[in-house]
């Protein structure tokens, strides 16, 4: 049954902060996939990438998706690359309504400027904005599979939350 609310979208689109707010408003449990992986492994995401590489991180991510998608009535914030795996999309969409958050590449750039937190961006071109644009284009076809997309650029978290709740309830 589709009882979960799943947030997807690129890095820096606000999935974790909005997910927490939504869970509170809807009186649901909240799971952030990256935080779950960090708790389960006792390592940070950058440490996992550095020690074991992206492929291994994606395996951990896939296992976390399987576990979380089997649960009910949650708000789930995914990582920006979770949807690169079609099976992840399938499981998550079967378990709930999938909402994709978007914002302008320049805004993503500003929000993800700090080095050492997003290994996928740190490993890209020296021109970080270019890496963001390239990855956004590559991933567009995955994000497009969401049931509903919200452009968060000009909206406050409260407005976004109300919009998603209206859609989710409807
Ligand atoms: C990733 C996004 C990150 C995290 C990992 C890989 C990606 O999550 O899962 O660094 O490939 O887009 P956030 O979107 O929460 O930053």
Ligand 1 contact, 48 CB (< 6 A): no
* Amino acid 170: pLDDT: 59
Is the predicted pLDDT of residue 19 greater than 80, yes or no? yes
CA 165 to ligand 1 centroid distance, Å: 24
Q: Does the pLDDT value for residue 133 go beyond 70?
A: yes
Distance (angstroms) between ligand 1 centre and the Cα of 32 equals: 11
Instruction: For the full predicted model, state whether its pTM sits above 0.85.
Output: yes
On the question of pLDDT at 166 being above 90, the answer is no
> Atom 12 (ligand 1): residue with closest C-alpha?
80
CA of 45 to the centre of ligand 1 (A): 8
CA 81-64-34 angle, to 5 degrees, is: 55
Q: What's the 85 CA to ligand 1 centre distance in angstroms?
A: 13
Nearest-CA residue for ligand 1 atom 16 is: 11
Q: How far is CA 126 from the centre of its chain?
A: 24
């Amino acid at each position: 049954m589709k009882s979960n609310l799943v947030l997807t979208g690129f890095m820096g689109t606000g999935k974790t902060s909005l997910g927490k707010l939504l869970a509170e408003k809807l009186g649901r449990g909240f799971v952030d996939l990256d935080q779950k992986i960090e708790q389960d492994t006792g390592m940070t995401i950058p440490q996992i990438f550095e020690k074991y590489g992206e492929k291994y991180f994606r395996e951990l991510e896939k296992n976390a998706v399987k576990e979380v998608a089997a649960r009910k009535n949650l708000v789930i914030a995914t990582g920006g690359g979770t949807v690169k795996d079609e099976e992840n999309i399938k499981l998550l969409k079967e378990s709930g309504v999938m909402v994709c958050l978007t914002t302008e590449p320049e805004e993503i750039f500003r929000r993800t400027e700090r080095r050492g937190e997003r290994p996928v961006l740190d490993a890209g071109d020296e021109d970080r904005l270019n890496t963001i644009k390239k990855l956004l284009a590559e991933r567009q076809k995955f994000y497009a599979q969401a049931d509903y997309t919200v452009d968060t650029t000009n909206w406050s978290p409260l407005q976004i939350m109300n919009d998603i709740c209206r859609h989710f309830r409807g």
